[in-house]
Structure formats: C-alpha cells, structure tokens
Amino acid sequence: MPSFEITPIGTVRNDRTDIQHSDNWGAVRSTIVVDERFGEACLQGLEEFSHVEVVFVFDRFPDGGDHSEPRPYRGRADLPPMGVFAGRGPRRPNRIGVTCCRIESVHGRELTVVGLDAVSGTPIIDLKPVLKEFVPANIRQPDWVSGMMSDYFRP
C-alpha cells in the first residue's frame, strides 16, 4: 500500500505528561492551539457545537511491532485477547487516536475541551464537530468493557 504524510494542525496543552497514567481523563481540561497557518478565524462556528471529535497521534509511544497476534486488552491478563483493530489504545499501526470531547470555549486559534485523553504536546491531526446524525443510536459492546473503562473518564 502507498504511504502518506500528515502534517499536524495543532498541539495539545494540558497538565498531563505521563503517558503511563491512562485513567481519570474526565475532568482534564486541554487547550488545542491550532497552527497560525490556518488564520485566526479557523475555529469560527465551532463554538455553536457542544462536542468535537479530536483526531491525534500517540507520538510518544513506540511502534507496537507485530500486530498480527491478539493481545490481552490493555495488557491485562484478566481480559480477553483482542486483535489490534478491536481496541482504541496507542499501540496500533499508525498510532492515531480519536476522542469525542466537550467544548468549553473557542477563542481565536485556541479550542478548550474537557475529556481529551492526550498528554501535553500531543500533535493534533484534525478536528470535527460532533453531529447528532453521525452518532450511532444502538451501540453494542462486550459486557466486560464497561467495567474495564469505569475509571477512564472518571474525574
């Protein structure tokens, strides 16, 4: 397959720097600073939305190596092995993360969100407003996922 290059559009600023601390993102307030090449009005209109999808790169994680074998979810032996595309963690082929965050404020090229699970300095690839029409109504997931994720977005 051909490869492609992506240039970040901005960077995350927050108080989280430890990539190993992977829970309690619910109250994390992050400011995404969009690069000046997009101009001061690049976020105009986004303040009308309650949520934004933030697409970012897990740039501080090493390449996960061989992705052909299922591994226990989040590295926990008490959870079932899952294929690389059945998880949302950073150890993935292109290390791309996506999180739906609540918009707190928009000022020029600065977007402040709550609940972004990315550490300070993380490169942002794209931002997309959340539209009701794009959110599925009937989500299904294994029963064990809710228990495993119970602390992830806890404040």
Per-residue pLDDT at 128:
98
Per-residue pLDDT at 41:
98
pLDDT tens per residue, range 75-129: 788 888 889 898 887 888 899 999 999 999 999 999 999 999 899 999 999 999 9
pLDDT tens per residue, range 27-69: 889 999 999 999 999 999 999 999 999 999 999 877 767 888 8
Rounded to whole angstroms, the Cα distance separating 48 from 106 reads 10
Report the predicted TM-score, pTM, of the whole model to 2 decimal places.
Answer: 0.89
Among positive and negative, which fits the CA dihedral 62, 67, 72, 74? positive
| Paired strand residues for 97 | 56
Would you say residue 21 has pLDDT above 80?
Answer: no
Task: Return the C-alpha torsion angle 29, 11, 130, 154, nearest 10.
Answer: -30
Pairing of β 96-107 and β 110-114:
antiparallel
Q: What is the mean pLDDT of residues 132-154?
A: 85
Please give the DSSP secondary-structure letter assigned to residue 122: P
Burial classification of residue 101, based on how many CB atoms lie within 10 Å of its CB (0-12 exposed, 13-18 middle, 19 or more buried): buried
Nearest 5°: CA angle at 150, between 22 and 74? 45
Per-residue pLDDT at 23:
64
Rounded to whole angstroms, the Cα distance separating 114 from 61 reads 23
